[in-house]
Structure 1
Amino acid sequence: MITLERQSLISKHLSSAETQAEVVTALSRIAYHFGFTYFTLANAPVSTDNLLEPLIVETTLPIDYIRTFDENRFLPICPLVPLMKNMVLPLCWMCRPPDVEGGPPQFPAALCNLLLDHNMSTGVAMPLQSSDGSSYFIRLDGARPLLTLPELNEVGMLLLQAFTVYDRLRREAPATAKLLSIRELEVLRWTSQGKTSSEIARILSLSDHTVNAYLNKAIKKLDCVNRTQLVAKAIRLRLIN
């Protein structure tokens, strides 16, 4: 797909988005169209943060990658964190261990191995600022050559548009809806349609354990005792149709 056609298609989808879930779908499309496998929307880490998972707002990263990343406390030693603090434009990189020649950033060998094990040799990330002053970033990961400058400019414009729309919808959402993440709402919608955890896991490319975790979090947040009550309350609060 040529650049203008690709940008127009994704931009049109973002402009018509009416829910945060639609923006998440658009982010997945952006990742796909630029040859990446995963996307992550997360709060920007500060010096006291040691774990990635609590920062994540939305992601398609494999749960075992996130778990291993946090078990090894890779966040404080990730070379991207200090670089992102001084960036206003997208940052693109290729994973290189310390003993391989190349430009920055250079990753600790163990972190580089984890990235390569999950086919995440190349990435691009963009720091973003919400309307309330909070700092975020969107990151794409996969296995492709480094982005060209025109590609980097294009992906930067699309990520900025995606976040602008997401941030606006987040602010406009009812207070009750903000209690649940996009993934929790997504799992909840499928549950309301009679899907089992295993079926939802296959639809969303998640593990059964992750689906159940999302449902359990939603049950606690909405002060329910089981899934049946959760679905009924979510419909009553108009969180789902």
Structure 2
Amino acid sequence: MFRALKRVTADFGWRAFMVMRMPRDLEDITLSALSIICSWPAELVNRYDELGLLKRSPILARLRKSVTPFRFDMTTIPEAEMQGAVGSAVALFGSFNMSRGLYLPVHDVLGNRAAVMLSGDREPAEINEMLQLSMIATLLYERISQLQYADEKPTEELSEREVECLILTSAGRTSAEISEILGVSEHSVNHYLNRAAKKLGTSNRTQAVAKALRIGLIR
């Protein structure tokens, strides 16, 4: 997938790419933590995080609200706005010849949002090119998601009872309520949930439910 993204990046005249998941909140976030796969220079990513630019990024703000591709051109920012974080970001990206970018929102089958970002100093992309790259980004991200979820699948298959208990737990049911619904003891319910958590590589039922939802084991 890295080679495929690198080839697409080069074919369309960009310098570097990044596939980044969208954060659910803005607390203690860094670009390096959100990056899934990336060809950005490590020095650029590290400096970006050191400066704490992500929380104040207008690009991130737009990506969190938008589902359509868009362009961003730092060379068009008025001189009067070159203060603080904006000025730092412009100088940083300019030093790597990455002042222009194309941003392509994508998502996986579970609705988790991400973005494919292409950066460089070429002329801004035209609408037809943006649509073409948006389709390519969607297909590439689907494959990346499949590979991620394949790596997360449990090595030992969950039993039908274990899955049922996870589903009911995800619906907010207590162990006592689940035992009544399934006609088994509360002790058995806790046993099923503990076994499911162990098979999923998690430490408790809450984490087990979250992972089961993420990998598509339950809906």
3-state SS of 2:97 partner: coil
User: Does the Cα contact within 8 Å between 1:94 and 1:122 map onto a contact in 2?
Assistant: yes
TM-score norm. by structure 2 comes to 0.63
- Whether 2:94 is the aligned partner of 1:116: answer yes
Distance in 2 between residues matched to 1:144 and 1:85, nearest whole Å: 25
2:115 equivalent among 130, 137, 149: 137
CA gap of 1:133–1:120, structure 2 versus 1, over 3 A, is same
1:153 equivalent among 127, 131, 139: 131
CA shift at 1:28, angstroms?
0.8
Report 1:35-74 matches (<5 A): 35-45=13-23, 46-74=25-53
Report 1:224-235 matches (<5 A): none
TM-score norm. by structure 1 comes to 0.57
Report 1:146-225 matches (<5 A): 146-173=124-151, 175=153
CA gap of 1:144–1:176, structure 2 versus 1, over 3 A, is farther
CA gap of 1:146–1:171, structure 2 versus 1, over 3 A, is same
User: Does the Cα contact within 8 Å between 1:121 and 1:143 map onto a contact in 2?
Assistant: yes
CA shift at 1:49, angstroms?
4.0
Aligned-partner residue type, residue 27 of structure 1? L
Structure 2: where are the runs of 5+ without partners? 156-219
CA shift at 1:70, angstroms?
0.6
Report the counterpart of residue 60 of structure 2 in structure 1.
81
Distance in 2 between residues matched to 1:88 and 1:125, nearest whole Å: 10
Aligned-partner residue type, residue 156 of structure 1? S
Aligned-partner residue type, residue 58 of structure 1? I
Greater gyration radius: 2
Distance in 2 between residues matched to 1:89 and 1:98, nearest whole Å: 22
Distance in 1 between residues matched to 2:134 and 2:55, nearest whole Å: 25
CA gap of 1:73–1:151, structure 2 versus 1, over 3 A, is same
CA shift at 1:149, angstroms?
0.9
CA shift at 1:166, angstroms?
1.7
Distance in 1 between residues matched to 2:88 and 2:67, nearest whole Å: 28
CA gap of 1:30–1:101, structure 2 versus 1, over 3 A, is farther
3-state SS of 1:41 partner: strand
3-state SS of 2:17 partner: strand
Report the counterpart of residue 203 of structure 2 in structure 1.
none
Give the number of aligned pairs.
Answer: 151
Aligned-partner residue type, residue 57 of structure 2? C
CA shift at 1:101, angstroms?
8.6
CA shift at 1:176, angstroms?
8.7
Aligned-partner residue type, residue 118 of structure 1? F
Aligned-partner residue type, residue 146 of structure 2? R
Report the counterpart of residue 30 of structure 1 in structure 2.
8
Aligned-partner residue type, residue 53 of structure 1? S
Report the RMSD for the aligned CA atoms in angstroms. 2.3
Deviations 1:142-181 (A, max 9, x none): 110100111111111110111112212322346599xxxx
CA shift at 1:136, angstroms?
1.3
Distance in 2 between residues matched to 1:146 and 1:101, nearest whole Å: 23
1:90 equivalent among 69, 75, 87: 69
Aligned-partner residue type, residue 153 of structure 1? L
Distance in 2 between residues matched to 1:164 and 1:29, nearest whole Å: 17
CA gap of 1:47–1:173, structure 2 versus 1, over 3 A, is closer
User: Does the Cα contact within 8 Å between 1:84 and 1:91 map onto a contact in 2?
Assistant: no
Deviations 1:18-44 (A, max 9, x none): xxxxx2211111111111111111111
